[in-house]
A and B are shown apart, each in its own frame.
Chain A
């Protein structure tokens, strides 16, 4: 493809003057070198000078140019138009990363994003010798533990793709803040690990509210795999013995207990162990399932063959305590 004609529907809204947003349609010929940001620029320069969006570096560093193309979080200066055409065809829609937070056209109010970022102690807590005699060197293997989490540019692509934040629970910290929490927790020079872990352990806002959908991993333009950092925070919660005993942590541990006993999962036992006394609230649901032949009675619980082998492996391979 040398040149390709595309139709772009662009979200237009001005919070100061408009009651409702509308879409403007642009027919544009794009060439194969152009990235999405080039097209945003051309809309502004060639068609409508009032069109508003954020950009600064044009090099995937400042994190300001994120938008949504056909619903997909996209860092405008990094994504090529031909890839968008290949993915979605020649009819494209440009939206701000979050329509609910739109201020003007592509520009959104990121205050909730930054508030959550600020809440996880997003800096190194360390006693620094003001007159060091030599450099403070972190050896490569220790630096690698950060797992590139320090490459995060706070673009919000992950945050605005996260269904928990955007459809269900606005208190959830979301992937970007959790990546940042991991970034400092994995830093050997840092001294606030436990404090940060206590924050991310809180039910209703922390790691336990992640639905493990991998939208963030799919969305991150720096390929940081935010979801894997969330898993590592879970691991740290147990390693540092910060984790609260509650339905969520018992649920994670319950898998081990059940596998130890049956090889496969004992679903009923898992719910009972995780919930403790609160298991009673599941009775109506359990009854409906029982009527449909969906509950296996304890005495009928199937077991994996070679259960002894599984037990032995659990004994010799376990690395965590609760």
Chain B
């Protein structure tokens, strides 16, 4: 099996979560997946640019997809919010020829054209749908069997479900998601069932309403701990910033001592596949990962 993708890294993986890019590349190497980095891509606007200028946000996201189209490779993302913005752009353009034409008029001025010819999926779903969890299970050299791992799905990979069902062949339920749980089980870890696994971390109001953000992150962390989690895993670097980097603030807001290691999805996979902690960038995690 040879899999090849165009990787849209998003900005976070190149700045505040370098461990995400590092571990993604490490996992791809272990699984013989070829990744071509889309260095021409711009920021997706993180669901904020659209509040200011929706059309500009569409044009920029369409441009990013163009570069995957030129490589004729399926595009993958490693950030839930990148996934949301990119896939939402694709859906809106694919379903609305008039809008697509307006966007292409602008792209044409720099010699580009959005066609709608490639898929856009989060790495999590590409792994499940293309590589397969059974094949992944066979590659596990360090089973995670002694750990209770709390999956934190992050909003933008599961809601709105209509969008994600358009994008993924996995028909994840927004109310009862299972993909991350299944992935944890494939790595032989024990997935923790807790109410907040499909809830919001509050990242998008970090600046203007930090109390809200800290409260939501804190509630999720506490819920995981109360259900015996040894660690948490998330497919989204923005969730990771709130749950890991800002764990102290969340802890203060909810008035509970919280000390829960939070791993990026590819960090967890990488460790199970036999990467060293350093190879998956554990040294960059703020809340100490004392279990590896």
Are A and B interaction partners? yes
Q: Which A residues have a C-beta under 8 Å from some C-beta of B?
A: 70-72, 87-88, 163-164, 167-169, 203-204, 208-215, 217-218, 225, 227, 231, 234-235, 238, 246-249, 251-253, 255-256, 258-259, 263-265, 267, 271, 274-275, 285, 288-289, 292-296, 302, 304-306, 309-310, 312-314, 316-320, 322
Of the residues A204, A225, A238, A267, contact of B16 by C-beta under 8 Å: A267
> Considering the chains assembled together, what is the distance between the CA atoms of A265 and B51 in angstroms?
16
Query: B243-284: which residues lie under 8 A (CB-CB) from chain A?
Result: 245-246, 249, 283-284
Q: Which B residues have a C-beta under 8 Å from some C-beta of A?
A: 11-12, 14-18, 39-43, 45-56, 59-60, 63, 106-107, 109-110, 112, 155-156, 159-161, 173-176, 195, 199-200, 202-205, 207-209, 211-213, 215-216, 219, 245-246, 249, 283-286
Question: CB-nearest residue of chain B relative to A293?
Answer: B284
Q: Judge whether B205 and A211 touch: CB under 8 Å.
A: yes
On chain B, the residues within 8 Å of A204 by CB distance are 209
Minimum CB–CB distance for A154 against chain B, Å: 21
> Considering the chains assembled together, what is the distance between the CA atoms of A267 and B39 in angstroms?
18
Minimum CB–CB distance for A304 against chain B, Å: 5
> Considering the chains assembled together, what is the distance between the CA atoms of A198 and B45 in angstroms?
25
Q: Judge whether A168 and B245 touch: CB under 8 Å.
A: no
Minimum CB–CB distance for A117 against chain B, Å: 21
Of the residues A211, A248, A263, contact of B212 by C-beta under 8 Å: A211
> Considering the chains assembled together, what is the distance between the CA atoms of A36 and B216 in angstroms?
30
Q: Judge whether B283 and A292 touch: CB under 8 Å.
A: yes
On chain B, the residues within 8 Å of A312 by CB distance are 109-110
Minimum CB–CB distance for A322 against chain B, Å: 7
* Given A292-B283, A294-B284: A302 and B14 interface contact (C-beta under 8 Å): yes
Q: Judge whether A252 and B51 touch: CB under 8 Å.
A: yes
Q: Judge whether B200 and A274 touch: CB under 8 Å.
A: no
Of the residues B161, B245, B285, contact of A285 by C-beta under 8 Å: B245
On chain B, the residues within 8 Å of A163 by CB distance are 199-200, 202, 216
20 contacts between A and B (CB under 8 A): A163-B199, A164-B205, A164-B216, A167-B216, A211-B212, A213-B159, A215-B200, A235-B54, A247-B207, A255-B46, A264-B11, A264-B41, A264-B43, A275-B207, A289-B245, A292-B284, A309-B110, A310-B42, A317-B106, A319-B53
Of the residues A71, A87, A211, A259, contact of B200 by C-beta under 8 Å: A211
On chain A, the residues within 8 Å of B112 by CB distance are 309
Q: Judge whether B11 and A164 touch: CB under 8 Å.
A: no
Q: Judge whether B286 and A313 touch: CB under 8 Å.
A: no
> Considering the chains assembled together, what is the distance between the CA atoms of A317 and B216 in angstroms?
36
On chain A, the residues within 8 Å of B50 by CB distance are 231, 234
Where chain A touches its partner, the secondary structure class is helix
On chain A, the residues within 8 Å of B59 by CB distance are 313, 317
> Considering the chains assembled together, what is the distance between the CA atoms of A71 and B15 in angstroms?
37
Q: Judge whether A259 and B60 touch: CB under 8 Å.
A: yes
> Considering the chains assembled together, what is the distance between the CA atoms of A177 and B141 in angstroms?
53
Q: Judge whether B285 and A212 touch: CB under 8 Å.
A: no
Question: CB-nearest residue of chain A relative to B64?
Answer: A304
Q: Judge whether A169 and B212 touch: CB under 8 Å.
A: yes
Q: Judge whether A295 and B16 touch: CB under 8 Å.
A: yes
Q: Judge whether B159 and A214 touch: CB under 8 Å.
A: yes
> Considering the chains assembled together, what is the distance between the CA atoms of A313 and B39 in angstroms?
17
Question: CB-nearest residue of chain A relative to B88?
Answer: A228
* Given A289-B16, A289-B245, A302-B14: A256 and B52 interface contact (C-beta under 8 Å): yes
Going nearest first, the 8 A-B pairs with the smallest beta carbon separation are: A234-B51, A214-B159, A213-B200, A248-B208, A265-B11, A320-B53, A255-B49, A168-B212
Q: Judge whether B48 and A251 touch: CB under 8 Å.
A: yes
> Considering the chains assembled together, what is the distance between the CA atoms of A293 and B20 in angstroms?
13
Minimum CB–CB distance for A231 against chain B, Å: 6
* Given A255-B52, A305-B40, A313-B110: A267 and B11 interface contact (C-beta under 8 Å): yes
Q: Judge whether A231 and B51 touch: CB under 8 Å.
A: yes
Q: Judge whether A258 and B43 touch: CB under 8 Å.
A: yes
* Given A167-B216, A259-B60: A212 and B40 interface contact (C-beta under 8 Å): no
Question: CB-nearest residue of chain A relative to B245?
Answer: A289
Question: CB-nearest residue of chain A relative to B249?
Answer: A285
Of the residues A88, A208, A275, contact of B176 by C-beta under 8 Å: A88
> Considering the chains assembled together, what is the distance between the CA atoms of A306 and B110 in angstroms?
10
Minimum CB–CB distance for B11 against chain A, Å: 4
**10 further A-B pairs in the complex, CB-CB below 8 A; given A256-B56, A292-B283, A305-B40:** A71-B175, A213-B155, A218-B175, A234-B51, A247-B208, A248-B208, A253-B52, A275-B207, A289-B245, A319-B53
* Given A263-B43, A285-B245: A225 and B207 interface contact (C-beta under 8 Å): no
Q: Judge whether B161 and A218 touch: CB under 8 Å.
A: yes
Of the residues A209, A265, A296, A322, contact of B208 by C-beta under 8 Å: A209
> Considering the chains assembled together, what is the distance between the CA atoms of A289 and B200 in angstroms?
23
Q: Judge whether A305 and B39 touch: CB under 8 Å.
A: yes
> Considering the chains assembled together, what is the distance between the CA atoms of A163 and B41 in angstroms?
33
> Considering the chains assembled together, what is the distance between the CA atoms of A167 and B202 in angstroms?
11
Q: Judge whether B42 and A264 touch: CB under 8 Å.
A: yes
* Given A214-B159, A313-B110: A288 and B56 interface contact (C-beta under 8 Å): no
> Considering the chains assembled together, what is the distance between the CA atoms of A225 and B161 in angstroms?
12
Q: Judge whether B286 and A288 touch: CB under 8 Å.
A: yes
Minimum CB–CB distance for A262 against chain B, Å: 8
On chain A, the residues within 8 Å of B209 by CB distance are 168-169, 203-204, 208-209
